[in-house]
């Protein structure tokens, strides 16, 4: 599924996005606040759903070549995190949904 | 500004020292491609094609009779003399170097002539190898990296990025969460520039990130060193303490000594070392309480189809 459609489904506010987001196709979601666990998963270009607001979410996403990072629980990443997203070219968005609700919405959207 | 790794006055000495320390035998290619005098020029053509070299020494029973190159082959082709033996076309006045020569003298010999390859003879005048600009450069770079590794232990960083080698060393400070992950990001970028296959990049980046986070979370400070050449990628994490009490326990998934504060940052789940091992072809760890921990990881690169052997 296209990344913008997933952001729409979770009513996400997009903080940084690649110039051509419709080219980003997402098939997998990793939902975790534990970056160590994210690093253990072998999934192709997953969307990282997390409530961990720190540079480490983006750095981890970069290392596992995640398609995007979606921050849940209505948290707002600080400006330098948005800047890092642009630097690492990783789409970053935030949603007011809880991590569980966001995961349910994403799961339903991908199952369609 | 980053500190200059070697004092400007000392650096020429470093190169000179290498030129005197290394001998011709250290930089020569030992896997020799040779041809016999009675082989035909057509045989030579096939040999040059299959081994992808542009010239070979003419050798029988280790004795050197001459040298023949693609230029001679073109002459034979033009004259339609491809069935004639190599001995008709080879150069017999061959400039050779001795395997015992210091590299500095070997180089000055090579520099006097315009040839591209120089057969290497041992004391018994047997052909034991060949030196080319490429073989010399590769070896010199490797030796420089070793020196840089030594300098890096003094806390100085000097990245190197070339076709044959990449090298970088990162000083990691304890509890520096602001910069944690930067080394892994840079290592990933260097591997991408080298054109390494994406799956391998991911494996190495994960290992680098785990080692880096371990240094940040657990160590009293240390270094993460990265080196890649055409054959392998190496990561070395080295710290000055405190050391791991029970290495076997530390290798168990889920076992951790991290505090709540570290866990609140998404780490300290006790997966770091096992995960680093999972993505590595070779994994070694040594640790001593009070002395520190060293983790060495190697990943072997598959030879790419477009890989060209050295000539």
- pLDDT tops 50 at residue B311: no
- pLDDT tops 70 at residue B292: yes
What b-and-e string marks burial along A60-88, b requiring 16 or more CB atoms within 10 Å of the CB?
A: bbbbbbbbbbbbbbeeebeeebbebbeeb
- pLDDT tops 60 at residue B305: no
| Over residues B261-268, mean pLDDT | 74
Q: What digits encode the pLDDT tens for the residues B115-168?
A: 888 999 998 899 999 998 888 888 888 877 777 666 655 555 567 888 888 889
pLDDT given for residue B261 in this prediction = 67
Tell me which of B33 and B311 has the higher pLDDT. B33
| Chain B interface, best mutation among A32, A33, A35, A36, by max B CB count within 10 A | A36
- pLDDT tier at B270 (50, 70, 90 boundaries)? confident
Of A40, A57, A59, the CB nearest to B184: A59
Residues of chain A with pLDDT under 50: none
C-beta atoms of A59 and B180 within 8 A: yes
How many Å lie between the alpha carbon of B206 and the closest alpha carbon of chain A? 6
Ranges A55-69, B25-39, B67-81, B258-272: which has the least confidence: B258-272
C-beta atoms of B181 and A54 within 8 A: no
| Chain A interface, best mutation among B170, B266, B267, B272, by max A CB count within 10 A | B266
Q: What digits encode the pLDDT tens for the residues B197-233?
A: 999 999 999 999 999 999 988 888 899 999 998 889 9
Chain A contact for B45 (CB, 8 A cutoff):
no
What b-and-e string marks burial along A7-37, b requiring 16 or more CB atoms within 10 Å of the CB?
A: bebbebebbbbeeebeebebebbbbbbbbbb
pLDDT > 70: what percent of chain B? 88
Cα Rg of chain A, angstroms? 12
Chain B contact for A47 (CB, 8 A cutoff):
no
The interface predicted TM-score (ipTM) is: 0.85
Quote the number of domains for chain A: 1
Chain A contact for B184 (CB, 8 A cutoff):
yes
Domain range for A44: 3-111
Chain A contact for B239 (CB, 8 A cutoff):
no
- pLDDT tier at B304 (50, 70, 90 boundaries)? low
Contacts with B278 from chain A: Cβ below 8 Å: 40
Q: Report the SS3 class of residue A14.
A: strand
Note the pTM of the prediction, 2 decimals.
Answer: 0.60
Contacts with B208 from chain A: Cβ below 8 Å: 63
Tell me which of A49 and B110 has the higher pLDDT. A49
State the CATH number of the domain containing residue A75.
3.40.1390.20
pLDDT given for residue A92 in this prediction = 98
How many Å lie between the alpha carbon of B275 and the closest alpha carbon of chain A? 6
Q: How far is CA B129 from CA A100, B60, B126, B135, in A?
A: 66, 14, 9, 11
- pLDDT tier at B8 (50, 70, 90 boundaries)? very low
Chain A contact for B277 (CB, 8 A cutoff):
no
pLDDT given for residue A48 in this prediction = 97
- pLDDT tops 50 at residue B41: yes
How many Å lie between the alpha carbon of A36 and the closest alpha carbon of chain B? 6
């Amino acid at each position: 599924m296209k990344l913008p459609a997933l952001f729409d489904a979770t009513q996400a506010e997009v903080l940084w996005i690649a110039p051509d987001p419709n080219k980003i196709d997402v098939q997998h979601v990793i939902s975790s606040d534990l970056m160590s666990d994210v690093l253990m998963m072998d999934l192709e270009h997953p969307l990282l759903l997390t409530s961990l607001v720190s540079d480490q979410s983006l750095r981890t996403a970069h290392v596992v070549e995640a398609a995007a990072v979606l921050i849940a629980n209505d948290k707002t990443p600080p400006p330098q995190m948005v800047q890092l997203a642009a630097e690492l070219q990783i789409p970053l968005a935030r949603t007011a949904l809880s991590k569980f609700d966001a995961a349910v919405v994403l799961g339903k959207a991908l199952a369609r | 500004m980053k500190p200059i790794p070697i004092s400007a006055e000392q650096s020429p000495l470093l190169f000179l020292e290498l030129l005197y320390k290394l001998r011709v035998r250290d930089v020569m290619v030992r896997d020799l491609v040779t041809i016999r005098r009675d082989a035909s020029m057509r045989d030579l053509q096939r040999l040059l094609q299959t081994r992808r070299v542009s010239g070979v020494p003419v050798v029988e029973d280790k004795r050197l009779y001459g040298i023949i190159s693609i230029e001679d082959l073109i002459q034979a082709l033009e004259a339609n003399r491809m069935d004639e033996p190599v001995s008709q076309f080879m150069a017999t006045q061959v400039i050779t170097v001795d395997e015992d020569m210091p590299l500095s003298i070997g180089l000055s010999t090579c520099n006097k002539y315009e040839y591209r390859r120089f057969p290497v003879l041992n004391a018994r005048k047997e052909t034991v190898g060949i030196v080319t600009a490429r073989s010399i450069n590769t070896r010199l770079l490797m030796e420089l990296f070793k020196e840089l590794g030594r300098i890096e232990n003094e806390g100085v960083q000097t990245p190197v990025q070339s076709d044959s080698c990449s090298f970088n060393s990162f000083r990691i400070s304890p509890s520096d969460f602001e910069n944690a992950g930067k080394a892994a990001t840079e290592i990933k970028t260097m591997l991408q520039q080298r054109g390494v296959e994406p799956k391998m990049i991911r494996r190495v980046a994960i290992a680098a990130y785990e080692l880096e986070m371990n240094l940040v979370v657990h160590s009293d400070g240390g270094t993460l060193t990265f080196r890649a050449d055409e054959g392998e990628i190496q990561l070395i994490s080295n710290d000055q303490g405190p050391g791991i009490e029970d290495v076997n326990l530390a290798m168990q998934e889920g076992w951790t000594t991290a505090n709540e504060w570290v866990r609140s940052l998404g780490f300290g789940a006790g997966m770091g070392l096992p995960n680093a091992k999972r993505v590595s072809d070779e994994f070694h760890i040594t640790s001593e309480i009070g002395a520190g921990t060293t983790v060495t990881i190697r990943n072997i690169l598959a030879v790419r189809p477009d890989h060209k052997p050295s000539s």
